[in-house]
Chains A and B, each alone.
Chain A
Amino acid sequence: MPGPLSLGLAARRKLAVSRGVPQLTPVFVASASGATLTDVDGNVFLDFAGGIGCINAGHADPTVLSAIREQSEHFLHTCFMVSPYESYIALAERLNELSPGTFEKRTFFVNTGAEAVENAVKIARSYTGRPGVLCFDDGYHGRTYMAMALTAKVKPYKAGFGPFPEPVYRVPFAHPYRCADATGHSLRQIQALFESGVRPDEIAALIVEPIQGEGGFVVPPPEFLRALRSLCDQHGIVLVADEVQTGFGRTGKLFACDQFGLVPDLLLTAKSMASGMPIAGITGRAEIMDHLEPGAVGGTFGGNPVSCAAALATIALFEREDLCGRSETLGRLFAERAHSWQKRFACVGDVRGIGGMQAMELVTDRRTKEPAAELTRAVSRFALEHGVILVTAGTFGNVIRILVPLVVGEAQFQEGLDVVEQALESCARGAAR
């Protein structure tokens, strides 16, 4: 690891591909199936990253593959705005039906989470006639300019690329591990902003991830999101739930909003919607979505038919295999193991998550909660060397997150957790509390 073929390919990558694209692992993929990846040298890895949360439904499901084949034989693209097709409409209907909220809804599709975020902002601005967007510390919404403006972490996502679109306002999220009265603190900061920074009637939208993804799988207290809902209702602000990473079963329900009893005005989806085929959705209240003039939104590729077909097959797979149920099971299994690690290793500062969206935050000192970024990197390296692909998260890079495909077998999952445990043993100075 990396084997000889991988090394050869590493040299080609260096020559051909822009240096700024990160390479979180040196794995050169040859094939993938279920919850495993095989590299070009024949090494088989447990994939706990799922291509950053895109593979909840597993790699290479036969029904998804045959949907892709069948659709591509019919047509690869016609541009929905020029000549529509059934699969787009059917997928829109499904999302309208499955998403939180009993009101009439509309959906349209773009290609990526970032594009969904950009469109949500456009829609909210048009609907409210207001310019401002409210977002959160540790939030991540994408890498196109408006999405970047809403993304909190400057390095590496934003440094050197400015200026960024305005007006964007940032307030603290509710991070219970790092803040005693997390909900209260955040709401007070929002109040303060509204008193001295900007009038609430200049805010078009509030965008929030029900559980922050890149920010470190931060699970807010349940009352936090409900309080945001009240705030938005009070001030006529469009509440945008970014479920790009939390959606499609990650938290044990199809959408995280349903775990929190949150009904957003706009819901954004991407990643696992189509088993890794590029597509993203904006779903929302009919009166908000219909406020646009014809032609105001769209895009050449958006909702491309092959991705729509893959998405419909993926949703069917979710229902057939009860992947949401499996997500809950995985969550319980992880929590059990991770809490035992928390007892054994002082570095495991926090174990958190809902359903299959689980993480642990590593610290050098339990009292000060100083982030242990180096240790986190070491754990992830160890895991990779022992056959488990893990990705990290958190503003300070000290969170190990689980994004394993929900189809992973229980034994397989425990095998992967064994490796994480060994990594902790090997890398941490483990001591009982």
Chain B
Amino acid sequence: MSFFRKLPDGLVVLNARPEHAGQLEELQRICFPTLRDEERFRAVHFLKHQELFAAGQLVALDGDRVVGATATVRLHFDPAHVDHTFADIIQGGWLTSHDPTGAWLYGADLSTHPDYRGRGIARALYAARQELVWRLRLEGQVTAGMLAGYGAVKATTPVETYYAGVVAGEIRDPTISMQIATGFEPRGLLANYLSDPVCDNYAVLLILPAEKQVKGASRSFAMSSIRMETEMPGPRARAALARRAESMPAGLGRATDVVVERAEGALIHDVDGNTLIDLAGGIGMMAVGHSPKAIVDATDAQARRFIHTCSLVTTYEPYMALAELLNEVTPGDFKKKTLLASSGGESVEEAIKLARKFTGRSTIVCFEGAYHGRTLLTLSLTSKYGLFKAGFGPFASDIVRLPFPNTYRRPAGMSEEDFVDYAISQLDLAMIAQVDPSAIAAFIIEPVQGEGGFVPVPRRYLEHIRRLCDQHGIVLIADEIQCGSGRTGKLFALEHYGVIPDILVAAKSLGAGMPIGAITGRSEIMDAAQVGGIGSTYGGSPVACAAAIEALTIIRQPEFLAHANQLGHVLRGTLERWKARYELIGDVRGLGPMLLMELVSDRVRRTPLPPEDTVRIVKLAAAGGVILIRAGLLSNCIRFLPPLTMPEAMLCEALEVVERALATVTEERMANVPVLVESRG
């Protein structure tokens, strides 16, 4: 995570980069003319420092000009054995004394260009180092300050006297006094620290414990993850978005203007150097976080073996291992088999094919509010017409669509239990009015509707469907593409219900970002198709399988699920608190950490918040450094699909930004301020 701070007078402090190496060497020459060559750093040394400990190397820039710098390493510091020399630390200039597990930050060098003295650069660099101490949770800073004023008086003053005078504040030493004023505590003299007549080779051991404040250092800035350096979108992002508009169709959805450069864990770094917290996870794809090392290594290792040989032509270990793993971990004790595809939509298509072949029937029952994909059949099963379906019909036949019992939107005055009873009776009626169960091949349902607004299916309703399917030989297909793979705090959402599907479809977070979909179900159903009837060229890509095996392994760890549930606990608590505070939150719902808030302009009538207001919250959040996406049939929900590995502190930081956005929109609505489409953070 990179450091960047603008100083009041326009100078900038940031992590040193390779292109600064030449200027850094020059700065050393200017600042330390009395040092021997081997005691000064050269460009190659600076490159090595960045390689060893990039976060600990900082420069101060005036435009492109390096006008200050500091080089640090992490060390173990033993108060009982403090005697050391500069040479011990710098190791010929390479700073290989750096210990990545060291608990102290040792300042090996701090220099300010003579033309820039007195502008607070040294102070800013010490402050930056202290923020690094806080961010890395170190014990503090330690350094050896040169007794720069001693060389001039050494003929007349013993060093101990000089030192005592400086510590007491009676003597002003050009270097040490400033360091003490910054907050360093002197801990004794170091003789022969280095060869420099200016200080007669004497230095003072200085400690700056982590508990101490340093002027110009901000704990919250240090601990925060968000870094918004430009407006959103910044200049590079704007250029990319212009290229996008030129080369790609206008119809391709675009939820944010964040153009990604890099991502790790729950953080996204955009092309303008901004760092945002990702609460969207690429639409629920990143339960295990962006680019965990295990997954990157697994995909790389597999690619080096082979990228693709086609699961229809050959067989390979990753496909089988993933199939075996899914057969084992999915709900149900019966014999299972798995088929792999390249996306969620394709996986649903395969499941339907198998259900029809197995039963010899054609009708599929699906639900309002459902989302199953964008291929013609899955689009036919998908509910939201205006956004997803308009202009693309005619749609597939033999599909029956039933209302999905959304208890938030039950008729006013009806209890939840009565509402579920009503929904069940409507389902039974549909089994006469719309289709006979003997004609139904499958029910397909998302245990928690995703795009539909994180509506969990009521338990009794789901159990009724299971009974119906058992009674009439109907295949129950659970679409766990969004709610599966750890998203609800259990491996699969159905584990919360104790209902076993006949086929379970997984994708999204299953592959940690790689394109894969899985269809796992009862052997007799999975084997129903004729040989050659299912499968596809790319299906079960070896590289994607390798990623999925790692992802499942991570998700199944108890620590992962425990942490996911803890995040869920924090999130739900926060959303409930917001609901009490902000009128525009009509409902908070979900399962485990899969949570969402539905926004309304009238709590009683549950009138959906106008779309531009919901969009405004999302845009304000993005300007503040948090990526959010919407959901809901009425497009008035904000859903949370964070990487489930994110630290709690980071989640809290992100939620603060979201709350500010909620508060702003609430105020604007009260003042009836016309809603702006653009915003600056």
Taking Cβ atoms with an 8 Å cutoff, the residues of A that contact B are: 9-10, 12-13, 15-32, 37, 40, 47, 49, 51-55, 59-60, 64-65, 68-69, 72-86, 89, 92-93, 96, 105-108, 110-115, 118-119, 121-122, 125-126, 129, 131, 142-147, 155-167, 270-271, 275-279, 286, 289-302, 304, 306-307, 310, 389, 391
Question: Least Cβ distance of B506 to chain A in Å?
Answer: 13
Nearest residue, chain B, Cβ from A74: B262
**Shortest Cβ distance from residue A84 to the other chain B in the assembled complex, whole angstroms:** 5
- Nearest Cβ on chain A to B538's Cβ, whole angstroms: 4
Which chain B residues numbered 335 to 354 have a C-beta less than 8 Å away from chain A? Answer: 337-339, 342-346, 349-350, 352-354
Inter-chain contacts of A160 with B (CB < 8 A) = 353, 356-357, 360, 529-530, 533
CB distance A68 to B303 under 8 Å? yes
A residues near B320, Cβ cutoff 8 Å: 9, 12-13, 16-17
Segment touching A, from B80-88, B208-216, B307-315, B401-409: B307-315
Q: Are A156 and B515 in contact (CB under 8 A)?
A: no
Residues of A within 8 A of B319 (CB): 17
Q: Give residues 140-156 of B contacting A (CB, 8 Å).
A: none
Assuming the contacts A85-B259, A114-B346, A145-B375, asked whether A20 and B533 have C-beta atoms less than 8 A apart, the reply is yes
Asked whether A296 lies within 8 Å of B388 as measured between CB atoms, the reply is: yes
- Chain B residues with CB under 8 Å of A157's CB are 532-533
Q: When the two chains form their complex, are residues A126 and B537 in contact, meaning their CB atoms are under 8 A apart?
A: no
A300 touches B260 (CB 8 A): no
Q: Sample 18 A-B pairs with CB under 8 A, ordered by A number.
A: A21-B311, A28-B315, A52-B537, A54-B308, A72-B299, A78-B260, A83-B256, A84-B244, A92-B248, A126-B391, A129-B391, A131-B394, A147-B375, A156-B532, A279-B515, A292-B391, A293-B387, A296-B390
Identify which of B22-30, B179-187, B280-288, B657-665 touches chain A: B280-288
Q: Which residues of B contact A (CB under 8 A)?
A: 240-241, 243-244, 246-256, 258-264, 268, 270-271, 278, 280, 282-286, 290-291, 295-296, 299-300, 303-317, 319-320, 323-324, 327, 337-339, 342-346, 349-350, 352-354, 356-357, 360, 362, 373-380, 387-388, 390-398, 507-508, 512-515, 519, 526-539, 541, 543-544, 547, 627, 629
Please indicate the chain A residues that have their CB under 8 angstroms from the CB of B541 in the complex.
Answer: 276-278
Q: Which residues of A contact B627 (CB under 8 A)?
A: 82-83
Give which listed residue, A12, A79, A96, A295, contacts B285 with CB less than 8 A. Answer: A79
Interface centre among A15, A19, A83, A270 (most CB of B within 10 A): A83
> In the bound complex, do residue A145 and residue B396 qualify as a contact, i.e. CB atoms below 8 Å apart?
yes
| Nearest neighbor of B290 in chain A, beta-carbon distance | A75
Given the complex, which residues of A lie within 8 Å of B270, measured CB to CB? 83
Separation of A297 and B248 alpha carbons in the complex (Å) = 11
B394 close to A165 (CB less than 8 A): yes
Q: CA–CA, A32 to B307, complex, Å?
A: 8
A272 to chain B, nearest CB (A): 10
A20-B339, A75-B513 known; 16 new pairs, CB 8 Å cut-off, are A18-B535, A19-B527, A20-B527, A20-B530, A51-B308, A68-B543, A75-B291, A76-B291, A86-B271, A89-B247, A114-B375, A131-B394, A160-B353, A160-B356, A277-B541, A278-B544
Question: Which of A52, A111, A159, A161 contacts B313 (CB under 8 A)?
Answer: A52
Given A21-B312, A25-B314, A49-B313: A76 and B512 interface contact (C-beta under 8 Å) = yes
- Which residues of chain B are near A84, meaning CB under 8 Å? 240-241, 244, 254, 258-260
Asked if A82 contacts B376 (CB within 8 A), the reply is no
When distances are taken between beta carbons in the complex, the residues of chain A under 8 Å from B397 are 163, 165-166
Question: Inside 8 A of B354's CB, which chain A residues have their CB?
Answer: 18, 20
Q: Which of B378, B513, B526 contacts A19 (CB 8 A)?
A: B526
Residue in contact with A17 in the complex, picked from B300, B308, B339, CB distance below 8 Å:
B339
Q: A76-B513, A300-B344 are in contact. Are A52 and B310 (CB under 8 A)?
A: yes
Residue of B258, B346, B356 near A111 (CB, 8 A) is B346
Asked whether, in the complex, the Cβ of B345 is within 8 Å of the Cβ of A77, the reply is: no
In the docked arrangement, what's the CA distance between A111 and B508, Å? 13
Tell me how far the C-beta of A198 lies from the nearest C-beta in chain B, rounded to whole angstroms.
14
In the assembled complex, the Cα of A145 lies from the Cα of B534 at a distance in Å of 12
Contact of A306 among B317, B514, B536, B539 (CB under 8 A): B514
- Measured CA separation A28–B394 after assembly (Å): 43
Name the B residues within 8 Å of A294 (CB-CB).
250-254
